[in-house]
Each structure stands twice: as structure tokens, then as C-alpha cells.
Structure 1
Amino acid sequence: MYSARGSSIMQRSVGRRGFLAGGLSGLGLLALAACGGGGGGSSAGGSGGGGGNRSLVVAVPALAPTLDGVVGGGGLSLESFEMNANLQAGLVRNPYIAGKTENTVVQDFNTYVGYVAESYDVSADGLTYTFRLRPGLQSPLGNPITADDVLYSFERKWNTPTYSKTVWQGGFAGPQAISKIDDHTVSFTLTNPGFGLTFLGLLANLQGHIYDSTALKQHATSADPYALDWAKANGGWGLGPYHVTSQTPDQEMILTANPNYAYGAPAIGQVTLRVVGDAGTRASLVASGDVDIAEGTRPTDQARLANNDAVVVPEADPIEYVDLTLVTNKAPFDDERVRKAMSLAVPYDQIMQQIYAGRAVTTVGNVNPNTRNYDVSKVPAPTSDPARAKALLGEAGHDRIAFTLSVSTANQDLMDASVLIQSYAREAGFDITIDQKTAADFSTLRNNAVGQAIIYRNRSQVQTPTYACTIFWKPNNDASNPSRWDDASANRFRAIVDQAQALPDPLSPEAGALWVQAQQILVESSPEIFVCSIQPSQIFRTDVGGFSYRSENAIDFGNITILDA
């Protein structure tokens, strides 16, 4: 077996062109990514060792409806992503490197370092990953974490009806492919070495969290053997930097630092998430110093505060995009011609200029354009063409199409974008009714695909082409497929993706050509319309350091510090 304790791929500061363009060269470099216990912290101060006597107040648009972000309603909302980032931890994680804005960091998406695991090895054939857990690690409740917790966590995932097991199917069979070597060592066996990079990414994100099995088993019942109901309302069974100690639904939630956190007690001892419904008010509270951080702020407010000496408006190479999803299992978007017409009805430039105040860029498909050996120029860029849209509607037998577009009230920019789309799409033959929903109701609508169209912020939490081309278009009504795209074009798309997944290197020239073909089909069929990629929606006071730009756009409060004047 290869072993490379303490090393990592690309352990350097890189920009957008580097984080995939200079990536892996086959299995050999992937094996060298096996990392030791360091490397997970931040160049901006990070989480290690702080006294924990500082507090932080964050103005948020909404709270997560459940603390068990992977199960039940709300698991795929931004609010739940943030709960996952702070309450949970996986065997590995992406380390942080310096960000574009001073005192901020970004995830290095091609590197994985130890988290709950102290280190890991990859076998020579790329099929076996062996993880050594951190000795003496405990949950916030004081229960020791061992190999049995790893086995239980994946058993729980696989036996939870709403857990998306399909994301693993490209190369991992589930709990039966995990072996306990001793109390602090486990191994995972893959079916395909080309799945290795995505496998690590899944372990590092919400799909791979490790739980305190002792706590969950204590609250299990015959009717609820995995304590799903208890976990939705109670904290402490995750291994992240914080656990929830108080919550008032729809008003406030208090996170308390985990003294047993893998990287040492966080510098911020308490984080108060306070619901402030109006985006402009959230921004003003940061400017006045009444809160430290505001989430879900409007780009127009960010532009207004960009020169305020008391406020930081962070910038990054954006991977989050505005996703206009058309639900394809019912009229009117079961017709590909109608979907394509809608893609031509979207005012892309106007949205980027008027809604995002220049803090957005064009999105072409959903594979990162700087992926090595991937040529994004061969994928059609989004275009506004109302006349062509009306012609396509005519070909589909329609004079005009009326439909409902659902949007969460937690995102003012998306509500504004919906109004702009509604206005411009009339010329193209679409009459849109906007349906504003609470964050919880919107998440349920998205997961169950009961609406006609939705608009929300989306991103690939694992920044590999394998993940980007599989996660959102699973068949069989999977909750991760909000469009329910499952027609002839979807089948052609999946056949090409399957070819790419079968290759040993997902970043090879042969794989790159296949990813292009898949994206061409996706963009032309338009089950999801990629409107634009957007900058971070958070702002914060100038004495806040360690803000992290992450794949799920959540703040890692365990990495935050208060900078001394």
C-alpha cells in the first residue's frame, strides 16, 4: 500500500484556473493524497486551540428545519448545509488555502486531509482506502469515537429511506464494502478506481459524516431504530466544531463550541444565528456593528457597502450558480422543445447586471470550466432569443405557456431574479406566476418535485466532473434529481457518463471528451437552466477573520477568529 502521511496534492495557493487544471494524473497522484493529521486548518488563523471565550452573532434569513440534514425535509437547503458544515464531520475534508480577499480562505477542492481520520492510505490498485481514526477522539457528548461508529454511520445512512445512496453507485457498494481492521482502523473497498477522487469528496461532505453511535442508539426505539426523529431536534451526536444547545424555531439558534473537536476547540465559543427576514436589514446590521456576519445579502447591498471601512464584502472564483430547474415529469416541461424555449427566454445579461451588480459570471453547463482536459468552449453558452423561443413553442403546438415558478423567501436576490425572468419571458411566450415559499416549504417542494419550476442557488459539493454529471440527474425519482429528467436525452446523457466513469482517470483526455458530450446533451435538453455563477452572499465586520468559501456556500464557524485591532 502507498502511504504518504502529511502530504497532499497541490498544497499551495491556487486560483480558479489551478484548482482543477493542475489536478490529478491518474491513480499514482491520488494515492499520494493520503494525508496525515495536519493540513486542515486555515492560513488565516483557523480553529486550532482558541480559548473559546469569544462570541459571534450572525443574521440569517432562515434556520434549518431539522438538525439531521441528510434525512427528512430540509436536508438540501442552504440552512441545512450550514448545519452540516458545523455540526458534522467526515473522515476527511478539503483543507483551506488563502482566498482572494484578505483574511479569508477557500477550500482546495483537489486535496483531502485527515479530519475524523488521522490519516489514510490507498492501495496500489486504487480500490482499497484504509483510514486510521484520531486516537482519543470524542463527540461533544463525551462518547469515544471508534471504528464501530464508522460502521454504524454507514449502516444508518443505507437504512434511512431519504438518504441518497445513488450518489455512491459509481464505485462503492455500501456498508458491506467496509471492514473493521481494529478499533481505530477501517477500510473501504471500491469497485472502480476511477471513482476514488469522487469517493473522497463524498466522504468530505454531507454524504460521508460520521456519527456518535452511542448517543443515537440511546434514543433509538423499535419504531425509530436509528433515532431519526430525536436527531432532527437534538444536537451533540455529530463531530463538527459546534453543537446546538438552544433553539427557538424561526427565530434563533445557539451553537456552542465542541471542546472535543478534531482540530482543537474553536476560537469562537458561541455562535448565535438570529433570523432577520429582510436582506437589506441584515446588511445594515453588519454596517452598524449590531451583528458580526450577515448571510443571504443582496449584491446591490454588497456593492453599496463595498467601500465601507467597517465591512468586508468577500470575493472568490464562484462555483455557486443560479439554477432554474424545470420539472420534466409533468406538463409543460415534459416537452424538450418547451424547455429549450424557456432557456432562450431567460434574460441572462440583465440578471447579472441588474440583480447581481456585476458580481456574477456566465455559467456554461455545471462541470467546472477549468477541469483538466475538459474543453468548455465546446459546450453551448446560454443565449437569450425570445423570437426563437416563440418559434419553438409553436413547433410544440403552443401559442403561449403558463406555469408557476417557485422561489424561497430566504433569498431576496432569487426573488428579484424571478421577477425579472417573469417580465422578460412574456415576450418569448411564457406567462409566469411567482410562488414565494418559506425555506422549509421550498425544500420540500424541491425534494418531491411537486411544482412546475423552481429557482435556487446550486453547486456541486464535490468538484469533480463525475459528481457534477451524476448527482442532479439520478433516475427513479431520486430526491437529488429535482427536475426528474428521465427521457431519451437523459438516457443518452447517462450512457456517456457511464463510459466516462468506467475510465481509471476521470481527468484524462478521453474522459474530458466524454464529459463535453454529456454536457452538450444536458444544455440542449435544458432540464436545468444555468443562469449565472455568483459571488458569496455573506458580508462581515472587518475584525472577523477566517471566513471560508466552501462548495456548499456555508460558513465554517470553527475556522472563524476575531482579529485584534
Structure 2
Amino acid sequence: MPAQNTPAPGGHDGAGDPVAIPVVTGSRGRRGPRLRRAGAALTAGGVAIALIAACSGETTSSSSEGSSSGADSIVEAVAALPTAFAYDAGAFTYEGFEFQINTQAQLIRNPIVTADRADGSQEEDFFKFEGELAESYDVSADGLTYTFHLRKGVKSFAGNELTADDVLWSYERKWNSTSVAPAISAPAIVDPARQFKKVDDYTVAITIDRAGDGFTLLSLLANVSGDIFDSDLLKEHVTADDPYAVKWSAENGNFGYGAYVLDNWKSGQSLTLKANPNYWAGEPAIKTITQRVVANPGTRTNLLTNGDADIAVQLRPQDVNGMKDDDGLQTFNIDSIEYLNTNINIKKAPFDDKLVRQALSYAIPYDEIMKQVFLGRADAMTGFINPRYPGYTTDGLRTGSYDPDKAKSLLAQAGVSSVSAKILVENSIPALEEAAVQIQSYAKDAGFNFTIDKQPATAVQDARSNGTYDIQLVTDKAISQSPPYELLLAFTKGSPLNATGFANDAYYAAVDKGVAAGDPLSEAAGTAWNEAVKIWQDEQPTVPVAFIQPNVVFGAGIDGYYYRSDSAIDFAALSKTQ
């Protein structure tokens, strides 16, 4: 069946016959969101045991652990391993996302298309959906009820069949644990106990309060909050202190319906995934994935070019650029949604003055960063949300440009002669420090004197949470590509994800206007999204710099890569030729 556009909820009024929405049931692998924490050895019965230790250290090439010798195994050179096996239990890292999307599954997913650009690579179509654990779904005529029909006979690695009870229990757990799901799912999902209903063993109905939230609901189910757990297995490990087995699952893997299962974990060295023979779409072509920890990105590059790894991730832009013309390697060119962003702590002087924040937006050397740091593998930004949303327009919005005179003029209007502040960067991402150096150099002529504060990921997160930073450089994206979701993700008042402290009633009213339009991809809604972004631009709580291309490289014999909104690699979609 053909892939379909998301229905335009709210296009009908009153009751009526449900609108049946066919869902593609493709065989290209799985689909999902994220995760984190980690470490363990595995049992054959489907459960990883014994949390070992935090990941650290670096391994190097060896003949016994070089590039895989068969067509059904792959070696990936990674920077680190996940630090937890359950999304509900921790924060997000690249390693965590990649573990999660390969060991969990969701009700639906996005289909794959080719990027509409020169030499475009494959990527998700963020605006359409197809079946994963659900084979189809219906939308009521009033656009308020989405009914999902589960595939029958789907089993977890532990051998338990997927039913509606697993869906309801998974969301019950998300709303009764430390999960960030409630914060990122509102207003589409605010109370699963009220909104999720078991129709029968293989049918789940989800109601929403506004038809205009339907597209966001589907985006969430396909991504960030959508993983469905084996509730029978997890209930076996419930305790009084851990009523939803969150702590247990953080230390143990294989409690979902994904394409792979954890087979082995060596602290700071490697992680091995094995194909799940019970996977709903059939056992993947690649049977074994070995992730080898190589902390230095240059060493990861060397392993790939020497043939000791099949895939290398989290590389430096200059390394990727240096490999783009190598016939034995593959780099990728996509419509990226990931971007270099500047968070501003607007509760801390002098950045509590929007004129100072506006001045900062003119003090950043956008073109130099795209040229010198990303070597042309970046695109200029106008606004901060995906400019390719159907119906949306960037008319009236400013593309970032370096103008030190304008910056100094704005500082003068604020009564500030110069600003001294720190740029917070995570020390494991080389491009962040390189971009910070460019800003530090060019911003001097604009009245800003910056020092660079390099910190480990945990310290960066603490500074964000505690509001002790000045400005922060970060790579950012909205994994669920829905306009209202992206507009509210980092800017909802009181949300733990709101690192800047930005709150604006006019901004929220513009978002509500877009939701009220019904179809968030319509021109009427797009006008409201444009209005909201103009308010954001005037307040300038963040300064986006550029959309950046993925820093991942494949060997020539590996096929099936596609760009995902979480940037991780879907191993079930891959194949290998020798």
C-alpha cells in the first residue's frame, strides 16, 4: 500500500464514519527514538544482566576485532557506549539513541525517501507515516480519535506476544517514572490513563483534545515517546522501590520488540548486538553489530580508511570532508534538521536584556563557521524550525549574518559598552570548540569578550539545569518533526528542557493559532508558525548558526543508510557486500 500523508485532523466536523488510513508495511527495517546509560553481559533468555561500570577508555585496531569477515556482520567505530539501557532512566546521547532505536520499536514510523538536493542521500520523510508494530490506523471523522490495529503474532525476544496491554502499560510507566516523555509529549499526550483505551487485545484507541494535535501525536508515536515495552517481562522485575522496573531495565537490555538484542558489553571497550529472530519484519540481514570504542575521532577515521571498521560515527567535519572523494567510502548529503545552536541564559545579566541578545546574533561569524569548521558541509539558517515544513514560510525572517557595527550599536542602545562572558561547550565534540574559537575571535570586534569553558557532558547538563552558564554552543534538533512540537520543545514555560528561561504569551498564542488551523502543514497554520518565529527572533533566546551534515562515513560495501531525525543508524536497514 502507498505511504500516506498524515490526515488533516479537524477537516470534518461532528461525528461520522471513521476515515480509514492505510499504512505502508514496508520491510526496510525498524524505526524508533533514543536511550541512554549502560553496560552488561547478556543471557540467551533475552535479558542482559549485571550493570558493570561507566564507559571510558579507548581501544585500537586488532586483527581479531577488525572489520567483520562475513557479509552478515558489521564493525562500527564509536566514541562511547550508552550509559543506560532505558530511555525512562536517563538523559540522551548519540550512543543511547543508537542502542534504543535498534532494540526497541514503535507503533508507526516514517517512510524513506531521497533528499531533494544534488547527490541527495536517503532520509526519512518526516511528514508521512507507515506501520511498524501497528499494521494500520484509523482516524475518526472529527479528527480526535486515532485507532491503531496491532500486528498479531509479534513477539519480544523473551517470547511474549505484543498486545494492547503492552501499549497501555508502556505509557503508564512513562507517566509514572522519571521519564521526560510527559514534558515532550504535551499537549498531544497529557494523560494516557484518560486518552489511551484498549478496544481489544490487538486494538488501541488514542483520543486527543484538539484535532490540530493529531500530526504531533503521530510524530511522537513514531519517535521520541513511542517505544513499546514487553510489559510481561518487566512486571516480573517490579519491586516496591521500582514499581515499573525502570531501574531494572536501566541495567538490563532486551525488554522491547526491536530488531536487535544486546549480546555482550565490555566496559569502555565494546558492545555487541545480535539480530532478534522474533523481529516482526523478519530477522535482519546483518546478524551481528560490534561497536568498538575509539575515543579519538582521528583514530576512528583511520580504522575506517584502513578497512578495520565498516562504519565510523561522530567524526570531525574535516575528516568527513577528506573522505568524500574516496571511492572506497561513502559520505552522505541530506536535508539535515540538526543544527549548531547558541543557547542564551536570558535570566543572567547582561543577557536578560534582549538588545544584548540581538547584538550577539550579529556578533557570530556564520559564514566563517560554515567554511572553516564545517568545510561547506552546512547550510545557512533562517529562523530555527525546519524550513521545509509544507505550508510554512520564512518570509520576513532574518538569515544569520555577521555585522559587528550593528552589534555594537545594539549594545550601545542597551547601555552596555562591552560584554565579558563564557561559551560553554561539551569537550567530547570537537566541532563545538572549533566553532567557539571562531566566535571568540570575531566577536571581539562586536564588543563581546568570550572565554571558552570546555566541560564533560555531565557538567554541561548540570550548568544548563542550574542556570549557571552564560551562553552554550550545542548541536540541536527536534526528533519529532511537527511544527508546534518543534516550536514548544525548548520553550515551554517551566519545562525541564527550557534551558534558556524563555517564556512569552504572544509566542504561545501564535502556536495555539496554528494548532487551531487543524492541519499543521497547511498554509493557514504555516502563517501562524511564521508569526511565532518572528516573536522568537525579536526576543532572541537562542541564536541558530547552521544546519550541519551528518558526520558519519560508511565503507563502500555497506548499503541501506538513511538519515533519521535522531541521527542514529538503523542497522536493520543495512546490508553488506564483500
Q: CA deviation at 1:233?
A: 2.1
Structure 1 residue 505 and structure 2 residue 519: aligned? Answer: yes
The residue type paired with residue 258 of structure 1 is N
Provide the residue aligned with 1:216 in structure 2: 234
Structure 1 residue 312 and structure 2 residue 307: aligned? Answer: no
Q: Is the 8 A contact 2:72 2:288 kept in 1?
A: yes
- Structure 1 residue ranges without an equivalent (≥5): 1-5, 11-22, 44-51
Q: Distance in 2 between matches of 1:42 and 1:209?
A: 15
Q: Which of 290, 293, 307 is 1:275 aligned to?
A: 293
- CA 371–206 in structure 1, closer or farther in 2 if over 3 Å, else same: closer
Greater CA deviation, 328-337 or 214-223? 328-337
Q: Distance in 2 between matches of 1:440 and 1:557?
A: 28
- Percent identity between the two aligned chains: 38
Q: Which of 412, 418, 422 is 2:430 aligned to?
A: 412
Provide the residue aligned with 2:4 in structure 1: 9
Q: Is the 8 A contact 1:306 1:312 kept in 2?
A: yes
Q: Distance in 2 between matches of 1:265 and 1:141?
A: 15
Q: Distance in 1 between matches of 2:343 and 2:84?
A: 24
Provide the residue aligned with 1:534 in structure 2: 548
Q: Which of 342, 358, 375 is 2:376 aligned to?
A: 358
Provide the residue aligned with 2:111 in structure 1: 95
1:125-274 mapped onto 2 (5 Å cutoff): 125-175=142-192, 176-274=194-292
Q: Distance in 2 between matches of 1:304 and 1:538?
A: 12
Q: Distance in 2 between matches of 1:471 and 1:533?
A: 18
- CA 505–248 in structure 1, closer or farther in 2 if over 3 Å, else same: same
Q: Distance in 1 between matches of 2:343 and 2:213?
A: 27
Q: CA deviation at 1:203?
A: 0.2
The residue type paired with residue 152 of structure 1 is W
Q: CA deviation at 1:445?
A: 4.4
- CA 79–390 in structure 1, closer or farther in 2 if over 3 Å, else same: farther
Provide the residue aligned with 2:94 in structure 1: 78
TM-score (norm 1): 0.88
Structure 1 residue 546 and structure 2 residue 564: aligned? Answer: no
Q: Distance in 2 between matches of 1:28 and 1:396?
A: 47
Q: Distance in 2 between matches of 1:335 and 1:87?
A: 46
TM-score (norm 2): 0.86
Q: Per-residue CA shift, 1:280-301, capped at 9, x if unaligned?
A: 2222221111111111112221
Structure 1 residue 60 and structure 2 residue 78: aligned? Answer: yes
Structure 1 residue 34 and structure 2 residue 51: aligned? Answer: no
Q: Is the 8 A contact 1:327 1:334 kept in 2?
A: yes
Provide the residue aligned with 1:402 in structure 2: 420
Q: CA deviation at 1:210?
A: 0.7
Q: Distance in 1 between matches of 2:132 and 2:489?
A: 24
Q: Which of 504, 509, 519 is 1:495 aligned to?
A: 509
- CA 244–455 in structure 1, closer or farther in 2 if over 3 Å, else same: farther
- Over the residues paired in the alignment, what is the CA RMSD in angstroms? 2.4
- Structure 2 residue ranges without an equivalent (≥5): 13-17, 31-69
Q: Per-residue CA shift, 1:417-445, capped at 9, x if unaligned?
A: 11111221222222222222334444454
Secondary structure of 1:533's counterpart equals strand
Q: Is the 8 A contact 1:34 1:112 kept in 2?
A: no
- CA 454–540 in structure 1, closer or farther in 2 if over 3 Å, else same: same
Q: Is the 8 A contact 2:120 2:332 kept in 1?
A: no
Q: Distance in 1 between matches of 2:482 and 2:426?
A: 28
Secondary structure of 1:433's counterpart equals strand
Provide the residue aligned with 2:58 in structure 1: none
Secondary structure of 2:89's counterpart equals coil
The residue type paired with residue 156 of structure 1 is R
The residue type paired with residue 163 of structure 2 is T
1:334-373 mapped onto 2 (5 Å cutoff): 334-373=352-391
Q: Is the 8 A contact 1:67 1:232 kept in 2?
A: yes
- CA 456–248 in structure 1, closer or farther in 2 if over 3 Å, else same: farther
